[in-house]
Each structure stands twice: as C-alpha cells, then as structure tokens.
Copies of this chain bind each other. A is one copy, B any other.
Amino acid sequence: MLSNIRIVLVQTFHPGNIGATARAMKTMGLTNLVLINPRQFPDEEATRLSAGATDVIDNARVVTHLEEAVADCVQVVGASARLRSLPLPHFDEPDDMAESVTQNAQSAPVALVFGRERSGLTNDEIRCCTHQVSIPANPDYGILNLSQAVQILAYEVHRAWRKRDDSDYAYQQPTESTPPSREQMTHFQAHLGRLMQQSGFITQPHARTEEQLQALFTRAQPSRKELSLLRGLLSSLESHLPER
C-alpha cells in the first residue's frame, strides 16, 4: 500500500532538498519519488543529504511535466502554503489527508505534490490536483523547508497506515514485562507499612498516610526486579530500627 504512494517534487532548486526528501521518505516507508524538471540532478549534494536513502535517489523518475507523473493516479494532493483561488477540496489537517490517501492507496496510485521552494505550484499544476493540503503553522512564519514539509506529510501517511487494522506495524516492546503478582505487591506494602510505623513516621494508626504512599508505589508499576530492590532497601533500613 505504501508503495502506491508517490512523492512528486516540481522544479526543485536545491539538490540538497531532493536528498533530504529522499531520506525523509525512506524513514516513513515511502520509496517512490518523481522529479519534475529539477534544476540540478543528479547531484553530489542530493546524494550526500540522502544519507542511507540513496536507493530512493537512484530510483527516482525524472520527467518534464506534472501530468506525466500523475496520469495514472486516482488522487493527487497538492501541498500548498496558502489557499488558492481555485476551489479544490482542501484538507485543513494533514491527518485527514493521510487517512484519505492511505484509503485510496489500497487499490491504486496516489500522489503528493510539492512545489518550488520559493513559489510553490503554478495554477496549471494545481489543476492537475484533486485536493489540496496545508500544514497548519505559525501564522507569522509558516513556510516550512521543502524537505521538512515532505517529512511531516510522510509521517502523517505512515501514522494513518499504522492506525489501520490491516497494518502489521509493531512497536518496540521492552524486554522485561511480567508485572509482580498481587501477593508480591501486598507483601511489599505490608513491609513498607511496618517500616513507617517502626521508624516513628506514623505515630497514630493513620491508615490514610500508609494508603497514600502504598498507592504511589502501586502507580509506579514496579517490575519484579524493582520490587525486589525496594524490599532490599526496606530491609537494610529496618535493620537499624529498634524492635517493636
């Protein structure tokens, strides 16, 4: 599905932006890059900034017109810093755009189109689009670097894909994960309670203070190992207290 998502850059001026775009794409599982009339490509700077994503650079398709890049696409989303006068459907929020794009990409190619660093997309290029999207930003300073805009929209596409039932994305899991049993927690809390009394911290049988601190430790969700460390600490402290 992610392979159906095409990133299209129109007349990019700085080859470094092409390289940074390739890297941004690959971190989010996108590999399909098309360049319309790049000013300077291939270029050392593009390769350098692509870091480990040189395959995306090497497989990039270079064409002269946007229509060639998107003819087979069922959805073409133009990324634009500001609303245009041509009233295409507009996504105010990139996450809505990403849900729509990942849905369509199940069955056919879709494209996200980014314009020139300074002037964005022309009206003719907007006419090749089915939708527009803006990245909500600081109204006083809202123009993102080109490759940063690609990174954000690629990230939102990846996020929409992760949240789908049929994605097989797996979060990293910490290795140790069996929590202590209720019995182990109860033993610990009893031990803590005895320490609170024997140390003179609790002078009257005030269940409240004991409960509050016990709740804190429960909320901390100690692992079995941590609980064992705590018990050891309590025992060391206890050994200095007078018997009661």
Interface residues of A (CB under 8 A from B): 20, 23-24, 26-29, 51-53, 82-83, 87, 90, 92-93, 95, 134-139, 141-145, 147-148, 151-152, 155, 158-159, 162, 169-172, 174, 176, 223
Cα of A58 to Cα of B92 in the assembled complex, Å: 32
Residues of B within 8 A of A172 (CB): 82-83, 134
Extra 19 A-B pairs, beta carbons < 8 Å, given A27-B148, A51-B145, A135-B155: A23-B145, A23-B148, A24-B148, A27-B137, A27-B138, A27-B142, A29-B137, A52-B141, A53-B141, A83-B172, A83-B174, A92-B171, A134-B172, A136-B159, A136-B169, A139-B170, A151-B151, A152-B155, A155-B155
B26 to A138, Cβ gap below 8 A? Answer: yes
Chain B residues closer than 8 Å to A159, beta-carbon distance: 93, 95, 136
Find the B residue at minimum CB distance from A90.
B174
Residue of B nearest to A225 (CB): B87
User: How far is the CB of A163 from the nearest CB of chain B, in Å?
Assistant: 9
- A5, B76: Cα distance in complex, Å: 36
7 A-B residue pairs with CB within 8 Å: A20-B148, A27-B138, A27-B148, A87-B174, A95-B159, A135-B155, A155-B155
Task: Give min CB distance, A28 to chain B, whole Å.
Answer: 6
Closest to A152 in B: B155
